[in-house]
Copies of this chain bind each other. A is one copy, B any other.
Amino acid sequence: MSHPLLTLTTDFGPDGPYVAALKGIVLGLVPGTQIVDVTHRIAPQNILEGAFVLASIFDAFPPGTVHLGVIDPGVGTDRKLAALRVAGQWVLGPDNGLLGGVVRGRTVEGIWEIANPALRRATVSHTFHGRDILAPAAAHILGGGDPAAFGPPLPKVLCLANFEPRPTHDGYVAEIIFRDAFGNLVTNLHISQVQQIPPDAWSIEIAGHRIAGLVRTYADRPPGQVVALINSMGWIEIAVVNGDAGRQLAAGPGTTVWFHRSRTA
C-alpha cells in the first residue's frame, strides 16, 4: 500500500505521553504511515462512546484504512484483542464491545484474535497493550501483513446491548450515546430504522420535552427551538437551533429518548 492510513480512537486524553508513544511504535515499524486522530477524549473506559465514534467515521475513510481503538478497562485480564475486516477496512482493538459498532449494517469479511507473541514488542507491559501489542498489530496490517498470522479466527465480535435501541409497539426506546461540542445529543437510532416512516409522523420525548416530527436541518426552525433531525452520520439527533441541547434539556449520554409513530401517520 503506497499510503498506509491509520486512525486512532482512545480514552487516553490529549495531555500525556500515551498517544505519542503508540504512534512512535507504528512509525518505527511502518515509516510514512499517515495517522488521523479521531479522538483521545472518549470518556474514560466508555466503550459505548468509542463504538459509536468508530461507527460514525467509518464510511468516510477509503478501503485499506486501519482503525485502531483503545478503550481497554480490562487490560491485564484475559479479555481478547481482535482484528476485524469490514467492508474493505480494518478495525483493531479489545473485543469488549468497542468493535461492535462498525458491524451493524456492514459486511464482516473476517475476524482474527490478536494472539501471536511474535507480532508484539519484545517487552510487553502489564498496563499498555495499546502500545505494546495493538500498535505492532496495526503496523502488521499497514505493512501488508497477513491477518492469519495474528492467531485463530473468531466467530464474532462482542456487541453492546445498548448500542441498539429497543423496539416498542409504536416505535423505539432509544438512548443518547454522544453529546458533541455544540451540545447536540446523538441517539443510537439510525436512519435505516426510521426511513420507512414519514418524518412528520414521529413524536419524540426526551427529558420531559416533546418534539413533533423530524426536521431537515437546523435552519428549518427558529433559534432556541428543540428539534430532532437525521444528522450527517445517519443518527437521529436532538438539537437546539443555535443553542446547546445538552444544557437546555439537562440531558446527555444515557438519557432515554422515546420515539412514537403517531396514530394518524
Listed in ascending order, the chain A residues whose CB lies under 8 Å from chain B are: 2-3, 5, 7, 11-25, 27-28, 31-32, 34-41, 44-45, 53, 56-57, 60-62, 65, 73-77, 125-128, 131-132, 178, 180-182, 216-220, 229, 231-233, 242
Q: Are B132 and A219 in contact (CB under 8 A)?
A: no
CB<8 Å pairs between A and B, sample of 12: A20-B36, A20-B39, A20-B60, A23-B36, A24-B60, A27-B62, A28-B60, A40-B181, A76-B219, A76-B220, A128-B231, A132-B232
Q: Are B24 and A36 in contact (CB under 8 A)?
A: yes
Q: Are B13 and A180 in contact (CB under 8 A)?
A: yes
Q: In the complex, what distance in Å separates the CA atom of A231 from the CA atom of B21?
A: 13
Q: Are A77 and B219 in contact (CB under 8 A)?
A: yes
Inter-chain contacts of A35 with B (CB < 8 A):
36
Q: Are A18 and B180 in contact (CB under 8 A)?
A: yes
Q: In the complex, what distance in Å separates the CA atom of A178 from the CA atom of B3?
A: 36
Closest Cβ–Cβ distance, residue A89 to chain B (whole Å):
10
Q: In the complex, what distance in Å separates the CA atom of A180 from the CA atom of B18?
A: 9
Q: Are A182 and B127 in contact (CB under 8 A)?
A: no
Inter-chain contacts of A41 with B (CB < 8 A):
14-15
Q: In the complex, what distance in Å separates the CA atom of A12 from the CA atom of B56?
A: 15
Question: Which of B18, B19, B53, B76 sits near A17, CB closer than 8 Å?
Answer: B53
Q: Are A16 and B39 in contact (CB under 8 A)?
A: yes
Nearest CB in chain B to that of A1: its residue: B31
Q: Are A229 and B36 in contact (CB under 8 A)?
A: no
Instruction: Knowing A16-B180, A74-B219, A219-B75, say if A21 contacts B128 (CB, 8 Å).
Output: no
Q: Is the interface of A mostly helix, strand, loop or mixed?
A: loop
Question: Which of B24, B125, B218, B229 sits near A232, CB closer than 8 Å?
Answer: B125
Q: In the complex, what distance in Å separates the CA atom of A131 from the CA atom of B77?
A: 40
Inter-chain contacts of A2 with B (CB < 8 A):
31-32
Q: Are A21 and B76 in contact (CB under 8 A)?
A: no
Q: In the complex, what distance in Å separates the CA atom of A216 from the CA atom of B233?
A: 41
Closest Cβ–Cβ distance, residue A97 to chain B (whole Å):
16
Q: In the complex, what distance in Å separates the CA atom of A36 from the CA atom of B8?
A: 13
Question: Which of B17, B18, B128, B242 sits near A45, CB closer than 8 Å?
Answer: B242
Inter-chain contacts of A232 with B (CB < 8 A):
18, 21, 125-128, 131-132
- Smallest CB-CB A-B distances: 6 pairs: A13-B181, A128-B232, A24-B60, A76-B217, A28-B62, A126-B217
